[in-house]
Structure 1
């Protein structure tokens, strides 16, 4: 009886070798059943990622990078994703899955539907990171960590033409990385991101500009400490495209924040220390409760009875040897 030929490795392409892309490479590179190709518009960054072993090989031509890929993980700036989808579309093999990674779900799904040919599947994913890295402030490829997604959550949404196997594939990938897959309506998700992503950027912008415009900035900058650094950190990762694409939701939460600031200003102007102290105490309590829940990560009561996850090999076999990839060429 002749031995079965070896199953060819699963081909994954990472686009955008920043902290997220580099961390994905670190988490996947040791799996013998996976071959990881990296692409970044910055050729030096792609070469650096390859030299550090974060990817098995790097490509400087996007269509070449995705050719033959079973799964494309499209990260990097949101503003570049529509162009990347348009450029890679002719090179994608039939049944390939493209997962757009970023802070919004609805726009990438629309771009995928507009630019990808039939029988190519698009899924949008927003990786919510390991709570251990909430406050480290690290950025770029040097901040890549294999456990960046462990104990986190991946918010997922699929386009109307995406096969169920494509959605299951991303769900399994999230689980393999130690994260909890969480399916959301894209409009609902993006509405929430108006508060969670857009509003922190705008408040950080307002704070920095108000301070910098002050006649006292020359001395102020010398004594600025953790509070100022923390409150303005969102500027380091601000994405203007995310603000523009999610404008209505951001404006709604900006108006709500301005109303809250006006109420606090009125309390301060009246010298109402008791009311101000109560407001601060209540807010601190709510933040502490959220931080504890975020650390624990058990958002659903049902998760307490969650069965043990299959091994990496089990999940990989189910995801990549099922019907979605049966037509894959063995080269």
Structure 2
């Protein structure tokens, strides 16, 4: 039996998934769809998918797994479009940064016969300093030695959950289960807040009377801090994330304001020693995080029971990581 996978969205995430599964093409048939001609051409030229379809309906009608590798603001309209085309028992997976709103849309839109598991991909540490976006920075090993956050729907079957676990493992990732609200809180700090900081910096800069001259001297640091706005879909996705995640957004903005006020107060009192101490501790904290991130060294990460392989692992002969005496 051959598994059919529909990849809707052939940007960095969707294309990387397709490339990672190329070695399983005898068992997994990859169907792709994207409205971008550039993304479609990349997929054709780089063995991302086995087939391209021009319509969403044709992409999903025979699919066992539907991967929504789409910006947050596109998830709901796409779900509404494909809902009636899903086959019995189909598994829908999304990679959007927020899960609470997606779960709501899933429950409103999907028929009872479909299942849902949300993915929160974490990219391989080796690619953290790739500043471009889109399919041209897709990699077959993009998810290797990293976590894959999993959030399941309330009515998702055990079979579909096992399939999602196997799917994440085929990509080289370690499944990490969380509930939707917790995952949104985590992503608000690590994904949403940096984008809000970039937006704030750009707004302050562009609204400044001196920007006409200052822009001539904006360099590497400015470019890196505002780099997230190099994504074509970022404005719409960020606006959607803020509106659909208001409580976390407001909390983080208030935390940011308090942090800046602390720095302002120390600046006003000319307390250079205290500022140096704070900035040094922050630098050390970043160094520690980056070292752990590169090694995927998260001792608190819960182990996933993969003693009973699901349909994907049975089909491909994939049993997950072997256990050692220390694991038991």
What TM-score results when the alignment is normalised by the length of structure 2? 0.88
After TM superposition, the structure 1 = structure 2 runs for residues 103-252 of structure 1, keeping only pairs within 5 Å, are 103-237=97-231, 238=234, 239=237, 240-252=239-251
Which residue in 1 is equivalent to 2:315?
317
CA spacing shift, 1:294–1:218, aligned 2, 3 Å: same
By how many angstroms is 1:178 displaced? 1.1
Query: What is the CA–CA distance in structure 1 between the aligned matches of 2:197 and 2:312, rounded to whole Å?
Result: 46
Count residues with an aligned counterpart. Answer: 312
1:67-110 Cα offsets, whole Å, 9 max, x none, are 11110111111111111111111111101100011111122122
Query: What is the CA–CA distance in structure 2 between the aligned matches of 1:162 and 1:16, rounded to whole Å?
Result: 23
Note if contact 1:46-1:59 (Cα within 8 Å) is conserved in structure 2. no
Where relative contact order (Cα < 8 A, 6+ residues apart) is larger, the structure is 2
CA spacing shift, 1:207–1:318, aligned 2, 3 Å: same
**SS of structure 1 residue aligned to 2:23:** coil
Query: What is the CA–CA distance in structure 1 between the aligned matches of 2:315 and 2:151, rounded to whole Å?
Result: 23
Note if contact 1:169-1:319 (Cα within 8 Å) is conserved in structure 2. no
**SS of structure 2 residue aligned to 1:50:** helix
1:299-323 Cα offsets, whole Å, 9 max, x none, are 12577x9999999998252799xxx
By how many angstroms is 1:201 displaced? 1.4
Tell me whether 1:42 sits opposite 2:36 in the alignment. Answer: yes
1:142-188 Cα offsets, whole Å, 9 max, x none, are 11111111122111111111001111111111111111110001111
CA spacing shift, 1:307–1:158, aligned 2, 3 Å: closer
Tell me whether 1:261 sits opposite 2:238 in the alignment. Answer: no
Note if contact 2:159-2:310 (Cα within 8 Å) is conserved in structure 1. no
Query: What is the CA–CA distance in structure 1 between the aligned matches of 2:305 and 2:97, rounded to whole Å?
Result: 29
CA spacing shift, 1:302–1:278, aligned 2, 3 Å: closer
Note if contact 1:47-1:58 (Cα within 8 Å) is conserved in structure 2. no
Which residue in 2 is equivalent to 1:27?
20
Q: CA RMSD in A?
A: 2.6
1:250-289 Cα offsets, whole Å, 9 max, x none, are 1101101100100101111111101111110111111111
Give ranges in structure 1 of 5+ residues lacking alignment: 1-6, 321-331
Query: What is the CA–CA distance in structure 2 between the aligned matches of 1:37 and 1:262, rounded to whole Å?
Result: 51
**Is 46-55 or 135-144 further displaced after alignment?**
46-55
**SS of structure 2 residue aligned to 1:126:** strand
Query: What is the CA–CA distance in structure 2 between the aligned matches of 1:230 and 1:309, rounded to whole Å?
Result: 44
1:17 paired residue among 10, 18, 21: 10
**SS of structure 2 residue aligned to 1:30:** helix
After TM superposition, the structure 1 = structure 2 runs for residues 71-90 of structure 1, keeping only pairs within 5 Å, are 71-90=65-84
Query: What is the CA–CA distance in structure 2 between the aligned matches of 1:168 and 1:300, rounded to whole Å?
Result: 23
Note if contact 1:176-1:312 (Cα within 8 Å) is conserved in structure 2. no
CA spacing shift, 1:104–1:146, aligned 2, 3 Å: same
Note if contact 1:66-1:92 (Cα within 8 Å) is conserved in structure 2. yes
Query: What is the CA–CA distance in structure 2 between the aligned matches of 1:19 and 1:120, rounded to whole Å?
Result: 26
Query: What is the CA–CA distance in structure 2 between the aligned matches of 1:191 and 1:202, rounded to whole Å?
Result: 15
Query: What is the CA–CA distance in structure 2 between the aligned matches of 1:195 and 1:202, rounded to whole Å?
Result: 10
By how many angstroms is 1:293 displaced? 1.1
Which residue in 1 is equivalent to 2:61?
67
**Is 45-54 or 179-188 further displaced after alignment?**
45-54
Tell me whether 1:97 sits opposite 2:83 in the alignment. Answer: no
CA spacing shift, 1:144–1:310, aligned 2, 3 Å: farther
What TM-score results when the alignment is normalised by the length of structure 1? 0.87
